[in-house]
Amino acid sequence: MVDKRMPDPERGRALVVEKARAMLSGRGEPYRVDGKVVKKDCSGLVMAAYSAAGIPLDAYLSVDSRKGESLVAQLFHGLVQRGMVHTHKVPEVGDIVFFDNTFDRNRDGRANDPLTHVGIVESVKADGTVIVIHHARGGALRTRLNLFHPERRRDPKTGQALNHYLRFADGKKKKRLAGELFAGFATVIH
């Protein structure tokens, strides 16, 4: 099942996005992978959306995971091993997007926490702004990411949001935008 080519990749990507969108309104519904309830967090949302679309991601998890490694990191490393991770500024709809340093995972007060968050690319606007569906602060929601302007919150000409905050100020740390925390995209469906 791993690295299997789909007969209609566009339909497969649309189905993943459709399943992720369904989670936006289901705050009370658990996330399920192959009928089993999984943790209701960012990796659970991604795993559940792909599973519901008939593309279980378990086979893509890294076999070389280290003790205590998060599911986000296991997925990222497994996809890297298969050559599916890229850093193009414009992803495909349905791609998985990874972020670093969205929180202080190891609680050492420094920005040294790779692969702390994951989501699914819902759409890409003409200006390159990527709409991401992810799970944060208790539920599924949308966030904007623009890699053409990673440190810009809004377009100065139009006022349109380019990047939303993914890390909020805590103590001496400043807020950080999605573009600043971007780690990579992964194209699973091809």
Q: What is the DSSP letter of 129?
A: P
CA distance 124 to 91: 8
The model carries a pTM of 0.93
Residue ranges of domains in the chain, CATH in brackets? 9-186 (3.90.1720.10)
CA distance 123 to 130: 6
Q: Per-residue pLDDT tens, the chain, 190 aa: give them.
A: 445 567 799 999 999 999 999 999 776 788 999 889 999 999 999 999 999 999 999 999 998 877 779 999 999 999 999 999 999 999 999 999 999 999 888 888 888 999 999 999 999 999 999 999 999 987 999 999 999 999 999 999 999 999 999 987 666 668 899 999 999 999 999 8
CA dist 180 to 10, 11, 21, 110, Å?
29, 31, 25, 15
